[in-house]
Amino acid sequence: TNEAAQTLDGWYSLHDFRTVDWSAWRTLSSDERQAAVHEFLGLLEKWGIAEQEDRGSQALYSIVGQKADFMLMILRPTMEELNEIEMEFNKSLLAEYTIPSGSYVSVVELSNYMGGDGDPYENPHVRSRLYPKLPESKHVCFYPMDKRRQGNDNWYMLPMEERRSLMRSHGMIGRQYAGKVKQIITGSVGFDDYEWGVTLFADDVLQFKKLVYEMRFDEVSARYGEFGSFFVGNLLSRDRIHSFLYI
Ligand code: 76R
């Protein structure tokens, strides 16, 4: 049998997508809406403590287009904590006025195609990637993907050496976007419908298109990439939450 890539696994990840039920939200009095907003801000503050203590991270973005209105991305050391946070939100007043519109469960993953020396879990650079503080970039892009297993194009039948060399070329393209796009690859085999989640952060939204397009011409993506739905969004900072929910 073929050699599986070894993975380094970091924090567990939940991407939670919600659509606001604006017509129901509108029926509340402005005091009730204020209370719901404050409760939500309180939850964000509470979740933020874990981030300050290096026990996780989270990001909130409004989503452009009809697939959802906002996305909360949460990273935590355990699957239980993801579940707790999701439930805390579900029990909040605001949640009563949102409709779940998708979620993605995965774990931050690095593969050993590029491998370095020593115990990677002790390497500060590796640690900062496995346990990342999510950036407050202006934009986010998320999509799930698979590596193809079809006829002659079966990623999982390729020898390790060939996959390694293909991944090297993939990494070289990615590196040209250093400083412009931050990517977090999360593995979801056994957890969700696709094999990976790709989450990209950038201040210039156009860099998502440029990066993803350029990668389409690279063999790993051209021959082996299969993609789910794409989501793109704008940072929902604390002060923008008020205007976002104002009606
Ligand atoms: O971890 C590393 O930086 C080493 C090189 C590297 C690996 C192993 C790397 C670099 N990636 C790796 C693994 Mn990637 N990546 C994607 C997508 O849209 C598409 O066509 C694909 C979606 C993007 C945009 C992207 C960006 N990468 C992976 C894997 C796991 C593969 C496996 O294990 O079989 C997937 C699914 C995947 C997909 N990648 C980079 C980037 C960027 C920007 C880099 C450069 C990172 C840097 O050097 O800073």
CA distance 184 to 134: 9
Residues in a beta bridge with 154: 149
Among protein residues, the one with the nearest Cα to ligand 1's atom 41 is 174
Other C-beta atoms closer than 10 Å to the C-beta of 24 total 12
Other C-beta atoms closer than 10 Å to the C-beta of 216 total 11
Q: How far is CA 77 from the centre of its chain?
A: 15
> How remote is the CA of residue 35 from the centroid of ligand 1, in Å?
42
CA distance 172 to 91: 45
92: its two tokens: 């909040």
User: From the CB of 13, is ligand 1 less than 6 Å away?
Assistant: no
pLDDT of residue 117: 80
Where in the sequence numbering do the catalytic residues fall?
143
User: From the CB of 167, is ligand 1 less than 6 Å away?
Assistant: yes
- Helix 30-52 / helix 79-90 crossing angle, nearest 10 deg: 170
CA distance 75 to 106: 10
Interior angle at CA 62, CA 139 and CA 21, nearest 5? 170
> How remote is the CA of residue 88 from the centroid of ligand 1, in Å?
33
Name the nearest CA neighbour of 59 among 141, 179, 175: 141
Other C-beta atoms closer than 10 Å to the C-beta of 82 total 21
User: From the CB of 129, is ligand 1 less than 6 Å away?
Assistant: no
One digit per residue, pLDDT tens: the chain, 247 residues?
789 999 999 999 999 999 999 999 999 999 999 999 999 999 999 999 999 999 999 999 999 999 999 999 999 999 999 999 999 999 999 999 999 999 999 999 999 897 778 899 999 999 999 999 999 999 999 999 999 999 999 999 999 999 999 999 999 999 999 999 999 999 999 999 999 999 999 999 999 999 999 999 999 999 999 999 999 999 999 999 999 999 9
Among protein residues, the one with the nearest Cα to ligand 1's atom 45 is 174
> How remote is the CA of residue 172 from the centroid of ligand 1, in Å?
9
pLDDT of residue 114: 79
The phi, psi pair for 186, rounded to 5°, reads: -120, 135
CA distance 165 to 114: 9
ipTM of the predicted structure? 0.91
CA distance 162 to 55: 37
Among protein residues, the one with the nearest Cα to ligand 1's atom 3 is 171
What's the residue count for the chain? 247
